Amino acid sequence: MYLAVALDGNHEPLLLAIGLGTLECEESWEWFMMKLKECLGKDTKLDNIAISKWARAFFPKLCYNVKSIYIPEMVKIISMSTCEFPIIMIIELINKSIQSMYDERAEVAGRLSVGVTPYVENKVQKHVNKSYNCVARHMYGETFEVDDNFDTRKVQFGHRVCSCRKWKNSGIPCGHVIASLRNRKFESIHEWLIISSLLYRTAFGSEPVNSIPSHVHWEIPNEWVVLLPAKKK
């Protein structure tokens, strides 16, 4: 079973798609990625993502900022506890479990009154506290140089990047950016946030998880092979 999992605006796991295959290999992941790309549309960046980054088994210990998420573990538990059921029934159980989680988040999203999610608000406050140890100097245009007592970083507002890479990777202004914003005076930190509660509400308040259609609607390829179960020796 192949899973495409992302993180939502509150840093919680978001299941994008489920695929089924006989084994985990590059060919299977490539098939899964192509099918996912067809669903997401042509304007995605999947072509630029190496296949090795899609399987957690390939990840080095600390690379890619991998978060331990419970969706794969939850799917495994459901699958093992229902191993004698047809695969379609198992996936439907997974869909219902995921949909229940989405409904809970949609309810939380509906209660959000601020412009950001609780996770983002907490991270911003931590970055604000760290920014007091930084000294920002205006260099030219929208570029600032920031000394954080350990290193010197460059902040470029025009490109929305900081040389520490945290702003670009997370969408949340780092301490270097916040220190630079004090020199700009009239701008709010929230103006430079990519993640907002509006996106969070949109993710969970609109469409439900897609269920598997009836077998009468399945697409059957013109050329296919029937594989019989292997005989026990």
pLDDT tens for 4-21 read 877 787 878 777 787 777
Rounded (to 5) percent helix, strand, coil in the chain: 45, 15, 40
Same domain, 206 and 100: yes
| Pairwise CA distance, residues 120 & 109, whole Å | 13
Q: What is the mean pLDDT of residues 87-108?
A: 78
- Judgement on whether residues 49 and 76 belong to the same structural domain of the protein: yes
List of residues 6+ apart from 190 with CB closer than 8 A: 115, 116
- Tens-place pLDDT, residues 38-71: 887 766 666 666 656 665 555 554 444 555 555 5
Residue 229 lies inside a defined structural domain of this protein = no
The verdict on 173 and 202 lying in the same domain is no
Same domain, 58 and 167: no
Note whether 19 and 76 are same-domain residues: yes
Q: Show the domain range for 46.
A: 2-113+198-210
Residue type, 106: A
Same domain, 105 and 127: no
Which tens digits make up the pLDDT trace of 176-232?
Answer: 999 999 988 767 887 888 767 777 777 776 656 666 666 677 666 666 666 565 565
> Residue 202 domain-assigned?
yes
In angstroms, the CA 190 to CA 125 distance is: 12
Q: For the chain, give the percent of residues with pLDDT over 70.
A: 67
Contact 102, 110 (CB under 8 A): no
Q: Name residues whose C-beta falls within 8 Å of residue 30's C-beta, 6 or more positions apart in sequence.
A: 51
Total structural domains within the chain? 2
Are 107 and 132 in the same domain?
Answer: no
Instruction: Name the token pair of 17.
Output: 């798609």
What is the biggest distance separating any 2 CA atoms in the chain, rounded to whole angstroms? 77
Place of tokens 């949909």: 99
Q: What is the pLDDT of residue 226?
A: 62
Higher per-residue confidence, 128 vs 206: 128
Q: What is the pLDDT of residue 62?
A: 44
Residues 131 and 169 in one domain: yes
| pLDDT confidence of residue 63 | 46
Residues 92 and 204 in one domain: yes
Decide: residue 193, CB within 10 A, 0-12 exposed, 13-18 middle, 19+ buried.
Answer: buried
pTM: 0.62
For residue 16, give both structure tokens: 């994008």
Which of 143-152, 154-163, 216-225 bottoms out in mean pLDDT, i.e. has the lowest?
216-225
Both structure tokens of 8? 């939502």
Q: Are residues 109 and 122 in the same domain?
A: no
Contacts 24+ apart (CB under 8 A), 156-164: 157/184, 157/192, 160/192, 160/194
Q: Based on the domain organization, do 25 and 107 belong to the same domain?
A: yes
Q: Which amino acid is at 221?
A: P
Tell whether 76 and 149 lie within a shared domain: no
